[in-house]
Every structure is written in C-alpha cells, then in structure tokens.
C-alpha cells in the first residue's frame, strides 16, 4: 500500500502489519487529500481521506 499526500509532496510505502512512521513538517495549514497510490486489492478505491493541518 502507499500513503500519498500530493499537495504536501509526501508519500511512503505501507506494509500491512508493520508500523510505518512518516515525519513531515507542513509549511501551510489546510485540508489535504491523501490516498493509497499502489493498487493493493479489494477496498483500494476507498483508501483515501483528508489530512487536516491547523
Ligand atoms: Cu491501495
């Protein structure tokens, strides 16, 4: 799986059952869509959300 926040130029691979850490220092506030950018099977189309930076 992948975690991609294109507006913040951040992405990483995600491996199921393994903890993944991602450090980021946003330089702007707002709502930034994220999504899985690697086709990973059933439910892939629903792997998205919004990262809120305040
Ligand atoms: Cu996926």
pLDDT by position in tens, the chain (length 54): 999 999 999 999 999 999 999 999 999 999 999 999 999 999 999 999 999 999
DSSP string, 18-38: S--------SS-EEEEEE--S
CA of 44 to the centre of ligand 1 (A): 4
Predicted local confidence at residue 2, as pLDDT: 96
CA of 7 to the centre of ligand 1 (A): 19
CA of 38 to the centre of ligand 1 (A): 5
Predicted local confidence at residue 19, as pLDDT: 96
CA of 17 to the centre of ligand 1 (A): 15
CB distance 21 to 10 below 8 Å: no
**What is the pTM (predicted TM-score) of this model?**
0.87
Predicted local confidence at residue 44, as pLDDT: 95
Predicted local confidence at residue 21, as pLDDT: 95
CA of 42 to the centre of ligand 1 (A): 8
Predicted local confidence at residue 4, as pLDDT: 97
């Amino acid at each position: 799986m992948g975690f991609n926040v294109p507006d913040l130029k951040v992405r990483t691979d995600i491996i199921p059952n393994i903890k993944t850490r991602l450090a980021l220092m946003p330089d702007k506030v707002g709502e930034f869509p994220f999504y899985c950018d690697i086709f990973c099977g059933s439910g892939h189309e629903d792997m998205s959300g919004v990262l809120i930076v305040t």
